[in-house]
Amino acid sequence: MAFRKIIVMGVSGSGKSLIADQLATALKCLYIDADDFHTPDNIRKMASGTPLNDDDRESWLSDLVNLLAREEAIVLACSALKARYRDRLRSADSSVQFLYLKGDIDVIWPRLVQRQHHYFAGKGMLLSQFAQLEEPTEGEATVIDIDQPPQAVFQQCLDSLR
């Protein structure tokens, strides 16, 4: 396998963790969920329904940049909502590839309602993510429509990497 660094991005509920895990398995490389790098304070804040701000994300982004810099091959599930976050992540390695799992609230909200044992709280949090989302420009990421079965999303992601 060629060394690669892939970030599967999108708002919460878009399928980042599922697809990134499947890609890492298929590509035989490390899978990491960026949510695991949030501080306890950030998790409490999100669990209370309060969206994170740029200051909250600062140490989280630094940790992710360090992770990307030290790993040779990784698939990272990460919201990467803003262009400056993606630029920061790409600063670890210019070869980082972004896959943007794109869907609207009507597709994503029913998925979040079914989630159990996750700290992401409420429709207001999802709306805040959509409000913060700066969709990647053409050439910045491969856009994958998530209004299809997960296996089709995975296959489209995998095909886009070949």
Whole-number pLDDT of residue 1: 45
- Rounded to the nearest angstrom, the gap between the alpha carbon of residue 90 and the centroid of all alpha carbons in its chain is 14
Answer yes or no: is pLDDT of 9 > 90.
Answer: yes
Percentage of the residues of the chain whose pLDDT score is greater than 70: 94
**Domains in the chain, start-ordered, CATH in brackets?**
5-161 (3.40.50.300)
pLDDT tens by residue, 92-119: 999 999 999 999 999 999 888 876 655 5
Which long-range contacts link 87-96 to residues 24+ away (Cβ below 8 Å)? Answer: 88/61, 89/7, 89/61, 89/64, 89/65, 91/65, 92/5, 92/64, 92/65, 92/66, 92/67, 92/68, 93/5, 93/68, 93/69, 95/4, 95/5, 96/5, 96/6, 96/7, 96/68
pLDDT tens by residue, 43-69: 888 888 888 899 999 999 999 999 999
Which one is predicted more confidently, 74 or 51?
Answer: 74
Answer yes or no: is pLDDT of 70 > 60.
Answer: yes
Answer yes or no: is pLDDT of 82 > 70.
Answer: yes
Burial grade of 106 (CB within 10 A; 0-12, 13-18, 19 or more): exposed
